[in-house]
A and B are shown apart, each in its own frame.
Chain A
Amino acid sequence: MPREDIAQFTIRSVQVLAEDGTVDEDLAPSLSDDELLDCYEAMKRARRLDERAISLQRRGELGTYAPAIGQEAAQVGSAFAMDEDDWIVPSFREQSALMVRETPPQRILEYAMGMEEGAEIPADEHALPPAIPVGTQPLHAAGVGWGEAIQDSPNVALTYFGDGATSEGDVYEALNFAGVYGAQTVFLCQNNRYAISTRLEDQTAAETLAQKAIAAGIDGIRVDGNDVLGVYRVVSEAIERARDGDPTLVEALTYRRSMHTTSDDPSVYREAAEEDEWEARDPIVRFQVYLENRGLLDQETKATIDERVESEIADAIDRANAARDELDPADMFRHVYAEQPPELERQAAAFERKGDRDG
Chain B
Amino acid sequence: MADRLRMVEAVRETLRAELERDDSVVVYGEDIGRAGGVFRATEGLLEAYPDRVFDSPVAEAGIVGVGVGLAATGLRPVAEIQFQSFLYQGFHQLAQHVARIRSRTRGTVTCPMTIRTPYGGGIHALELHSESFEAGFAHVPGLTVVVPASPAETAGLLTAAVRSPDPVIFLEPTRLYRSFREEVPADDELPLGEARIVDSGEDLTIVAWGSMLRETLAATAELDADIEVIDPRTIYPLDTETIVESVRKTGRCVVVHEAPRTSGMAGEIIARITEDAFYYLETPVERITGYDVPVPLFAREDAYLPDADRIEAGIRRVLDRN
Contacts and interface: CB of A to CB of B under 8 A. Distances in A.
B136 interface: no
Given A332-B103, A338-B166, A342-B240, A140 B69 contact: yes
A331 B69 contact: no
A203 to B, nearest CB: 20
B72 A331 contact: no
Contacts of B96: 131-133, 136
A175 to B, nearest CB: 10
A142 interface: yes
B193 interface: yes
Contact of A337 (B59, B77, B166): B166
Contact of B75 (A129, A147, A344, A357): A147
A38 to B, nearest CB: 26
A139 B61 CA distance: 8
B245 to A, nearest CB: 13
B74 A151 contact: yes
Contacts of B109: 121, 128-129
B92 to A, nearest CB: 7
Contact of A147 (B57, B61, B73): B73
B72 A133 contact: no
Given A133-B96, A170-B62, A143 B70 contact: yes
Contact of A141 (B69, B75, B241): B69
Contacts of A117: 106
B105 A146 contact: no
Given A120-B108, A136-B93, A170 B103 contact: no
Interface in A179-204: 180-181
Given A129-B109, A151-B75, A337-B142, A173 B61 contact: yes
A2 to B, nearest CB: 32
Given A116-B103, A129-B109, A176-B62, A341 B72 contact: no
B284 interface: no
Interface string B22-41: 00001000000000000000
Given A128-B109, A181-B54, A336-B141, A147 B62 contact: no
Nearest to B67: A143
A100 interface: no
A150 B52 contact: yes
Nearest to B141: A336
Interface in B63-91: 65-75, 77
A146 B69 contact: yes
Contacts of B132: none
Range for the number of chain B residues in contact with chain A: 35 or more
Nearest to B55: A180
Interface string A104-132: 00000000000011011111000011011
A335 B240 contact: no
Contact of A336 (B73, B102, B238): B102
A329 interface: no
Given A121-B105, A133-B92, A150-B51, A338 B165 contact: yes
A131 B101 CA distance: 10
B69 A144 contact: yes
A144 B109 CA distance: 13
A139 B62 contact: yes
Nearest to A168: B61
A116 B104 contact: yes
B248 interface: no
A173 B68 CA distance: 14
A331 B106 CA distance: 9
Given A129-B101, A336-B102, 20 more contacts: A87-B72, A123-B108, A136-B93, A139-B61, A139-B65, A140-B69, A140-B97, A141-B69, A143-B66, A147-B71, A151-B73, A155-B73, A177-B57, A177-B62, A335-B103, A337-B102, A338-B102, A338-B107, A338-B164, A343-B237
Which 9 A-B pairs have CB atoms at the shortest separation, nearest pair first? Answer: A143-B69, A139-B65, A341-B237, A143-B66, A147-B73, A173-B62, A144-B69, A338-B165, A147-B70
Interface of B: 26, 51-52, 54, 56-57, 59, 61-62, 65-75, 77, 92-93, 96-97, 101-110, 141-142, 144, 164-166, 193, 236-238, 240-241, 275
21 contacts: A120-B106, A121-B105, A121-B109, A122-B108, A136-B97, A139-B62, A140-B65, A143-B73, A146-B69, A147-B73, A150-B75, A155-B73, A170-B65, A174-B65, A177-B66, A180-B56, A335-B105, A337-B237, A338-B110, A341-B236, A342-B241
